[in-house]
Amino acid sequence: MEQRIQKILAQMGVASRRKAEELIAEGRVTVNGRMAEIGMKADSARDHVKVDGKLLTRPEPKVYLIFNKPKGVVTSLSDPEGRPTVKDYLQRVKYRVFPVGRLDYDSEGLLLITNDGDFAQAILHPSQKIYKTYLAKVKGIIDDDALAKLRAGVKLQDGKTSPSKVRRIPHRSENNSWIEISLHEGRNRQVRRMLEKVGYPVVKLKRTSINGVKLRNLKPGEFRPLEPDEIESFNAGKRAQ
């Protein structure tokens, strides 16, 4: 059956559909020796589809992992600066996988890893409004006015954020506060920028859950498979839209 090239690449675990389109635009994909174009269709069972000269074979089993990213690790499979990457911690995974979305270098916590491009695309698409929850340590004792601003939405350089769910975490300190913040947007360094905007710079930031799926007892640098009911929770969200 013929399908668009970007969908074939996603199904075979090469990348998300968006990233697959970038690979095609960069001229890195060929079909039967011909340079692929956006919108081109092929039959993965009959046609020879290559990425960077490597022939794609039958789809690998789908892999869904939760990884506890340590601070100081790049959410990428390679880094031109030679810094540690997510890939360094996934040597035991025998299939080619990639991170879903991003978690900045200085942050830690839950990161989804998969080889299912459609799964990744569905989670990242803004229409799904999948909530991500973070535990943030900030400078100063955060006041009610700042919490109210976070809940209502904060005006950033790239536009006002959507309302967030925020609560103060009880903690005895004269210098810092802890809050839990949940939001469904995925802008670059969004939580850090929001808290900076309301006057409370982040000292430490950890993502603790996505769509209610949690790290559990994973230590930094460890990963585990998503359980069937956890995978189903994401699929249920897709069906609800």
For helices 17-25 and 117-124, give the axis angle rounded to 10 degrees.
110
Torsion of CA 132, 97, 230, 170, to 10 degrees: -30
Listed in sequence order, the residues at least 6 apart from 58 whose beta carbon sits closer than 8 Å to its beta carbon are none
Q: Give CA–CA dist 73/67, Å, rounded.
A: 12
Strand segments (E) across 49-197: 49-51, 54-55, 64-69, 98-99, 108-114, 132-139, 155-156, 159-160, 165-169, 176-183
47, 79, 104, 118: which is the annotated catalytic residue? Answer: 104
Tokens 């698409």 label which residue? 125
DSSP state of 125: S
Listed in sequence order, the residues at least 6 apart from 138 whose beta carbon sits closer than 8 Å to its beta carbon are 176, 177, 178, 179, 195, 200, 201, 202, 203
Can 104 be counted among the known catalytic residues? Answer: yes
What residues act catalytically? 104
